Chains A and B, each alone.
Chain A
């Protein structure tokens, strides 16, 4: 026995350097030599070397997350091009007009640019709209670094971008390998929790809200400390509504919300709720006392590297999409994860189209109806002209088989409108709604391109149109040129609300350049709704999210900021407005 151990140990030492260079995904890299074959054979039967490989895999994952392609770009491309002398003009940017709190009109006669998503396995061949476009919407994407070192620009975007770089890295790393029984105590150290008051210098925009009753709800927002944006200064804040006021309840440092539309919070009772920070590695759970991370531990060999989507649709049904590593997961593999109330399991995403950049994938919405689950999102599609247009991603799961189907919009050629899908809600297995935007690109004289977007609303009505998603024309007036629909909530078929935004620039817009869209469906007609609330002189309110309470009350939330001009703005304050029996009211917010 001892001799056997010694023999194996000798082999372990002999193969140590070979195995450290082993990359299962690269079959051409020194892996086909007889010695490597021998090392592989040894590895199969040696727990010690297998454990070593797990260490390397864990380190690889951390290195990849910290320094890999997911790193946020340090510069805006247009600025970098100008800095290196490739262009003489920066990309078109519009100064933000002072905006009113909300502005939108109703007119549903514009069908341009819409497409149909058929509920079949075949791609839709719709060629009615303009060709390719470029980036996803400004309102859901953090600006890449907004300043070059020699060209300090404006608004502290670079600091934000730097923070995001660090935090995406940190968040990607934190918890990538947590185990439930140890993670909470560990997190208590690494993610400082604060429950006394929200620091006065903290940002305070609201990203998501959920009401488990008319008098109990929670909201999730930004709590990054200004002006010094560092990994230790970023954070998220939770607010609680007790039937009277919204009150700051908890701050968790080390996390950052850089994509409002993908952030989620879902309360099922006053003592059971879930929240998701985009690109984090673990959802957060509320147990009646505090919000804590609830790491996802998989029963299979794969390990979760980073979440790209998450939502709980009931206390015992959760869905996520995540980058996985290890096990049978290939490099950059994204799969769905299913929570049945007890454990998480991996479910294969049936899509790997070669023309889509999987690294850009965002799964922003899940909705469940008896027998089916739908998921929506978007990714980018690199093309020769460099536009990298978004492409909507649509998935449907038949629960009896447990198999996901993927529906790609259009073909990868030209002539197909580019879309991004942001949210979906099913009111029944045969009826649902989906929101996003259709993006158009125009070529400028300097060779650069400008994006515009129109809101995209799709209806699934099996009785009326069969198994397909049919566009519902939406036209929203106003000066913005990048109009998108971001969130949709429904109670039944006759009380459905949509929140969106209208940006006056195509990308990297500051908040002053965004106004809000709010639409309501009563079962027959969509109408735009304008909250009539006085936000004060020079105060701009931007709705970022909404929620319906079980009694049908609508809550909208977002941020109010005083704006005197494009580059001067005061501290951000959260707001919560309620729409009850046709009357708008503003709730008191306590942050201290």
Chain B
């Protein structure tokens, strides 16, 4: 309640955000936002669209002097806001397209990436050396639940803290930690399932043998 009152108050007395600051925000965050959306959607073109849409939302909020798009708020708040909007737009986009998909691992359907994905399947290289397959990683990431994927991308790829991640996703810190844990374990499992010749470091450890 107090937060809401604070927001309302700030909306009435907020100082306009200078264009230069908005420009800075765009310049600073568009690459990261795009990377996050690529990870969420697995579709570069859609990621570009939603990046643009997210900044359109931000500009509308700036014109309306809505928090945190006024000079009274700091850059970190605006960053969280952007990722929060991007996350919601991504979820909405996935639902609309009915592709909250548990994507097939048969990436060979895409001949353009087949070599990249599977070119070294025969080699008996260790796990660490094999996750370099970019397309395989993207395919594995698409098999995560979008909420888990979002958590992983925010924490690991974007460097948000646990508390910030929780704020962006609108969940508790504990839930964010659970999602991160689930995402990491599942991503590893999917990757190994997808690349059965890989040998995880844990298998190489003979401590349990």
Contact (Cβ within 8 A) B208 A68: no
Alpha-carbon gap, A51 to B202, bound state (A): 5
Contact, CB under 8 Å: B56 / A84: yes
A136 contacts partner chain B, Cβ-Cβ < 8 Å: no
**Could you tell me the distance between the alpha carbons of A174 and B55 in the complex, rounded to whole angstroms?**
32
A45 and B48 CA atoms in complex are apart in Å by 46
Contact residues, B43-65 vs A (CB, 8 A): 44-45, 47-49, 51-52, 55-56, 58-59, 62
- Whether A386 touches B21, Cβ cut-off 8 Å, given contacts A20-B185, A51-B205, A67-B39, is yes
Q: DSSP majority for the B interface? A: helix
Min C-beta distance of B21 to chain A, whole Å: 7
A144–B180 Cα gap in the complex (Å)?
31
- Asked whether A23 lies within 8 Å of B137 as measured between CB atoms, the reply is no
B15 at the interface (CB under 8 A from A): no
Does A565 lie at the interface of the complex (its beta carbon under 8 Å from any beta carbon of B)?
A: no
Q: Would A75 and B180 be within 8 Å (CB), given that A68-B158, A84-B59, A183-B129 are in contact?
A: no
For A149, the chain B residues whose CB sits under 8 A away are 45, 48-49, 52
Supposing A86-B59, A173-B132, A177-B131 touch, asked if A69 and B181 sit within 8 A by C-beta, the answer is: no
Known interface pairs A72-B31, A179-B125, A182-B125; 19 further A-B residue pairs with C-beta atoms within 8 A, sorted by A's residue number: A29-B163, A51-B201, A55-B188, A58-B127, A58-B128, A66-B157, A68-B35, A69-B35, A74-B51, A83-B56, A86-B23, A149-B49, A179-B129, A189-B119, A190-B115, A232-B112, A386-B27, A388-B27, A448-B23
- Shortest distance in angstroms between B198's beta carbon and chain A's nearest beta carbon? 10
A386 engages B24 (CB within 8 Å): yes
| B129→A186 contact, CB < 8 A | yes
Q: Let me know if B35 and A447 touch, CB within 8 A.
A: no
Contact with A along B170-206 (1 / 0, CB 8 A): 0001100110111011011001000000001111110
The residue that A189 contacts in the complex, of B30, B44, B120, B178, with Cβ under 8 A, is B120
Chain A to chain B: the 9 pairs with minimum beta-carbon distance, closest first: A386-B24, A29-B162, A71-B35, A189-B119, A51-B201, A177-B128, A67-B39, A21-B181, A73-B31
Nearest Cβ on chain B to A76's Cβ, whole angstroms: 10
Total residue contacts A-B, CB cutoff 8 A:
248
Most buried by A among B138, B141, B202: B202
Task: Indicate with 1 or 0, residue by residue over B148-173, a CB within 8 angstroms of chain A CB atoms.
Answer: 00001101111101110000000001
Q: With both chains docked as a complex, state the minimum distance between the C-beta of A23 and any C-beta of chain B, in angstroms.
A: 7
* Given A59-B188, A148-B52: A77 touches B27 (CB 8 Å cut-off): yes
Q: How many angstroms from the CA of A8 to the CA of B207 in the assembled complex? A: 9
* Given A75-B51, A77-B26, A87:B161 Cβ within 8 A: no
- Is A230 in the interface zone, CB < 8 Å from B? yes
Flag whether A16 is at the interface (Cβ < 8 A): yes
Q: Give the CA-CA distance A231 to B201 in the complex, in Å.
A: 29
Q: A173-B132, A386-B21 are in contact. Are A71 and B31 (CB under 8 A)?
A: yes
Contact assessment for B112 and A69 in the assembled complex, using a CB-CB cutoff below 8 Å: no
Complex Cα distance, B20 from A480, in Å, reads 26
11 A–B contacts, CB within 8 A, in A order: A8-B208, A47-B205, A58-B128, A63-B137, A67-B35, A70-B31, A86-B22, A189-B123, A232-B113, A232-B116, A382-B28
Q: For B21, what are the chain A residues with a Cβ–Cβ distance below 8 Å?
A: 384, 386
What residues of chain A lie closer than 8 Å to B99, measured between beta carbons? none
State which of B34, B134, B180 has its C-beta within 8 Å of the C-beta of A166.
B134
Check A294 for interface membership: any CB of B closer than 8 A: no
CB contacts (< 8 Å) of A497 on chain B: these are none
One of B26, B48, B138 near A66 (C-beta < 8 A)? B138
Contact mask B110-144 → A, CB, 8 Å, 1/0? 00110110011001011111011110011001000
Chain A residues with CB under 8 Å of B202's CB are: 48-49, 51-52, 55
B31 touches A182 (CB 8 A): no
* Pair B184/A56 contact, Cβ less than 8 Å: yes
Which residues of chain B are near A77, meaning CB under 8 Å? 23, 26-27, 30
B87 within 8 A of A: no
Q: Is the CB of A55 within 8 A of B128?
A: yes
> Does B161 contact A67, Cβ atoms closer than 8 Å?
no
Nearest residue in A to B28 (C-beta to C-beta)?
A: A382
Q: Please judge, given known A-B contacts A8-B207, A74-B30, A183-B129, whether A52 and B201 are in contact too, CB under 8 Å.
A: yes
User: In whole angstroms, what is the CA distance A8 to B47 when docked?
Assistant: 44
Asked if B132 and A177 sit within 8 Å, CB to CB, the answer is yes
List A contacts of B32 (CB < 8 A): 68-69, 71
**Cα distance A198–B181 in the bound complex, in angstroms:** 48
* Complex contacts, B131 vs chain A, CB 8 Å: 58-59, 62, 173, 177
- The answer to whether A230 touches B208 (Cβ under 8 A) is no
- Inter-chain contacts of A56 with B (CB < 8 A): 184, 188
Q: Are B123 and A185 in contact (CB under 8 A)?
A: yes
Among candidates A16, A80, A447, residue contacting B185 with C-beta atoms closer than 8 Å: A16
B165 to chain A, nearest CB (A): 9
B116 touches A190 (CB 8 A): yes
Task: Determine whether the beta carbon of A231 is less than 8 Å from that of B155.
Answer: no
**A381 and B34 alpha carbons, distance in the complex (Å):** 22
A394 at the interface (CB under 8 A from B): no
Instruction: Name the one of B119, B127, B137 contacting A173, with C-beta atoms under 8 angstroms.
Output: B137
Contacts of B128 in A (CB 8 A): 54-55, 58, 177, 303
Q: Give bound CA distance, A75 to B116, whole Å.
A: 26
Say yes or no: A169 contacts B134, CB within 8 Å: yes
What residues of chain A lie closer than 8 Å to B201, measured between beta carbons? Answer: 51-52, 54-55, 58
Which residue from B28, B132, B178, B200 sits with its C-beta under 8 Å from A62?
B132
Chain A residues lying within 8 Å of B155, measured Cβ to Cβ, are 23
Q: Are A80 and B52 in contact (CB under 8 A)?
A: yes
Are the CB atoms of A182 and B123 closer together than 8 Å?
Answer: yes
